[in-house]
Chains A and B, each alone.
Chain A
Amino acid sequence: MNLKELTIKKAHDLLRKKEITSVELVEAHFDEIKKHDGDIRAFLSLNEEQALEQAKKVDERISKGEPIEMLAGIPAAIKDNILIRGGKTTAASKILENYIAPYDATVIKKLKEEEAVFIGKTNLDEFAMGSSTENSSFGATKNPVDLERVPGGSSGGSAAAVKAGFCVYALGSDTGGSIRQPAGFCGVVGFKPTYGAVSRHGLIAMASSLDQIGPLTKNVEDAALVFEAIRGEDELDSTSVQREWPARNASRSEAGGEDFSEPIDIEEVKIGVPREFFTHGLDPEIEKNIKAVITKLGKEGAKIKEISLPHSDWALATYYIIMPAEASANLARYDGMKYGYSKISNLSPRSSFGGAGKSQISNLLEIYLKSRGEGFGDEVRRRIMLGTYILSAGYYDAYYKRAQKVRRLIKQDFDRVFSKSAGNIDVILTPTTPSTAFKFGEKISDPLSMYLADIYTVSVNLAGVPAVSLPCGEVSGLPAGLQLIGKNFDDIKLLKIAKFAETLIKSHEI
């Protein structure tokens, strides 16, 4: 069995036909991890014992002839900023190095209902802040395609684990491209659902108006299968939205919306190609691959239209105001009092009388300063300070309020393109990143150059729309990524069009 190409659908069929057991499936993945994760380092922690226990349960059900859910018994890797009760959740930060999650994230609860098997927690940039995993406090993950290169980030561990065949699928989180960019760099599929489609309860918050959980998978169909399992309203996330999603495997007539298994009629699809996304130092070889797909889609009957998203040029600047502002507020909770790294025990009880020893701390303020100063890494502190500066008196209007206004203009660009009366576009097609995976150390010393890796992905989060990255051939042996962006809550239609594009790319060997 080639684990690298094993999809959810295939694994599910093998389990159902009793050609393999879940225990065998889990063991095979752990063998692969033991062989190769020493080099790749996709995981921060592994969960072998519990994974096998869960697998056994599923095997028992299968042997009794009971029907099983699509994701039952299938090994999944989870980004380590998503809580699984009873296990460590570190967000790749020293400040949470020993944090044990006291509850399950809603997505985990839903996957447990499907009897999914969690094999381990994957590496990320600390608190999901970064584009390479180099900001992880526990060492970077390597790109399985080329060990000298980064896997992208922040969900770099999840993308690498899927690519290396360490799991069948993984969950990541995407605030400005953190699912799609690493998917692009590693050559897997990464899907960021519409804002509000998937509950973030139990996701360690970075920037709450942008964060979204989504799957990293080996093909588009699997992304749809995982999305169907994790979506839905949740009273524990007030931004999650109630929708009439079609029932799983429902026939078209009973479905309240689009059904993934119904193929798309490509002649009815209108694809917008925004001219602003083919600048910013786009690698000409990536552009060639993307243009080849556009041509092929046109030949198949899709209507291709050049469009403009005129405020795209300001998306990254807007993002780097809104994101740090929200992050600085969200990360205020790490105070060394309730959980996480703390200097509280160094407090001298009689310090105010000058009786403190060398390592002693004399007051509450010092506990905050030291716990946070020592617990957070460079990039996290940088963003907290940026956010604090931007939100401070005298600067709020000039930065934060202005950014919120530009954000509205960016969203209106998308609304216009998608609206029936104006652009009437079904999906927007762009590259995922301007370049392929870069080498370790190339951008880490210059934060701004690292931020530019997200230039094509951030506007999607600002507008709240869904987007998926899929492999689009190679450039000098490294994967290139194609991004498709859909209308709010048109997630299934977006994935259907992505599936069409995926088939086309595979059959033409782009």
Chain B
Amino acid sequence: MITKKEVEKIAELARLGINEDEKEKCVGDLSSVIGYVQKLSEVNVEKVEPITGGTSLESVTRKDDETKDIADDEMKADILNGAPDKENGYFKVPSILK
């Protein structure tokens, strides 16, 4: 149902590197799950509005200011220490423009 070509496309969209053997396995695994969830076509959903969560939540807002946590210098240092590459208090990432 899902082809190898589709698996390749999805993997690239999802930024997941997968090798040839894994592609074959993914074809089978994803097809079986997609086959199962197609069960939902049995349900009559005419005039039903989609729901985005389990409880009736209302949108909330908060002030756009630095919370105490983000302003915590020690935490800032801890966060940066977890980064694979950093410079002058910033994450360092490769250039995206050549």
Measured CB to CB, the residues of A under 8 A from B are 85-86, 99-100, 102-103, 194-196, 209-210, 235-236, 238-239, 241, 311, 313-314, 316-318, 320-321, 328, 332, 335-340, 342, 344-345, 347, 352, 363-370, 372-374, 376, 381-382, 384-389, 392, 399, 401-409, 411, 446-448, 451, 461-465, 488
Known: A102-B82, A399-B37. A364 touches B96 (CB 8 A): yes
Q: Which residues of A contact B57 (CB under 8 A)?
A: 196, 239, 241
State in angstroms the CA–CA spacing of A104 and B97 once bound together: 37
Q: A344-B84, A401-B50 are in contact. List 10 more A-B contacts (CB 8 A).
A: A311-B43, A314-B39, A320-B33, A342-B84, A369-B17, A370-B17, A409-B43, A411-B51, A447-B33, A462-B54
Q: Do the beta carbons of A388 and B13 come within 8 Å of each other?
A: yes
- Contact A373 B16, CB 8 Å, known A239-B53, A317-B36: yes
Q: Is B16 within 8 A of A381, CB to CB?
A: yes
Shortest distance between the CB of A13 and any CB in chain B (Å): 36
Among A366, A373, A388, which residue has its beta carbon within 8 angstroms of that of B10? A388
Q: How far is the CA of A385 from the CA of B11 in the complex (A)?
A: 6
A321→B41 CA distance, assembly (Å): 13
**In the complex, A77 Cα to B45 Cα: how many Å?**
43
- In the assembly, what is the distance between CA of A320 and CA of B35, in Å? 11
Given A389-B10, A408-B48, A382-B29 contact (CB < 8 Å): yes
Given contacts A392-B10, A409-B48, whether A364 and B94 have CB atoms under 8 Å apart is yes
Given known pairs A100-B78, A370-B17, A372-B15, the reply for A386 and B33 (CB within 8 Å) is yes
Among A196, A367, A465, point to the contact of B94 (Cβ < 8 A).
A367
Over the window 48-65 of chain B, the binary record of Cβ atoms lying under 8 Å from chain A Cβ atoms (1 yes, 0 no) is 111111110100101000
Among candidates A337, A352, A392, A406, residue contacting B98 with C-beta atoms closer than 8 Å: A352
Min CB gap B82→A, angstroms: 4
Q: Are B53 and A464 in contact (CB under 8 A)?
A: yes
**Which residues of chain A have C-beta atoms less than 8 A from B84's C-beta?**
336-337, 339, 342, 344-345
The distance in angstroms between the C-alpha atoms of A447 and B25, with both chains bound, is 12
Complex interface: chain B residues within 8 A of A374 (CB): 17
Residue of B2, B55, B93 with most chain A CB atoms under a 10 A cut-off: B55
Number of residues on chain B facing chain A (CB within 8 A): 54
B10 touches A385 (CB 8 A): yes
B83 within 8 A of A: yes
Given A317-B40, A336-B84, A385-B14, A195-B53 contact (CB < 8 Å): yes
Residues of B within 8 Å of A352, CB to CB, are 98
CB-CB nearest in chain A for B48? A405
- Alpha-carbon distance between A100 and B36 when the two chains are bound, in angstroms: 39
Query: Contact partner of A385 among B26, B43, B75, CB < 8 A?
Result: B26
Most chain A beta-carbon neighbours within 10 Å: one of B26, B34, B52, B53: B53
15 pairs across A/B with beta carbons < 8 Å? Answer: A100-B81, A194-B55, A210-B54, A239-B55, A311-B43, A318-B40, A337-B91, A364-B96, A369-B16, A373-B18, A402-B45, A406-B45, A447-B33, A448-B36, A488-B55
A385 and B82 contacting across the interface, CB-CB below 8 Å: no
Question: What is the CA–CA distance of A34 and B21 in the complex, to the nearest angstrom?
Answer: 40
| In the complex, chain B residues whose CB is within 8 Å of the CB of A407 | 50-51, 54
Q: Using Cβ atoms and an 8 Å threshold, which residues of chain B touch A411?
A: 51, 54
Q: How far is the CA of A382 from the CA of B26 in the complex (A)?
A: 7
* Cross-chain contact B30 with A386 (CB below 8 angstroms): yes
* Chain A residues, CB < 8 A from B79: 102, 339
Asked if A385 and B39 sit within 8 Å, CB to CB, the answer is no
**Residues on B with beta carbons closer than 8 Å to the beta carbon of A320:** 33, 36-37
CB–CB A447/B29 < 8 A: yes
Q: Are A465 and B40 in contact (CB under 8 A)?
A: no
Least Cβ distance of A85 to chain B in Å?
8
Report the bound CA distance from A339 to B83 in whole Å: 5
In the complex, the chain B residue whose C-beta lies closest to that of A382 is B29
Shortest beta-carbon distance from B83 to chain A in Å: 6
Nearest-neighbour CB distance to chain A for B35, whole angstroms, equals 9
B16 & A392 in contact (Cβ 8 Å cutoff): no
B76's closest neighbor in chain A, by CB? A102
> Is B87 part of the binding interface, using a Cβ–Cβ cutoff of 8 Å?
no
B24 lies within 8 A of chain A by Cβ: no
CB-CB nearest in chain A for B84 = A342
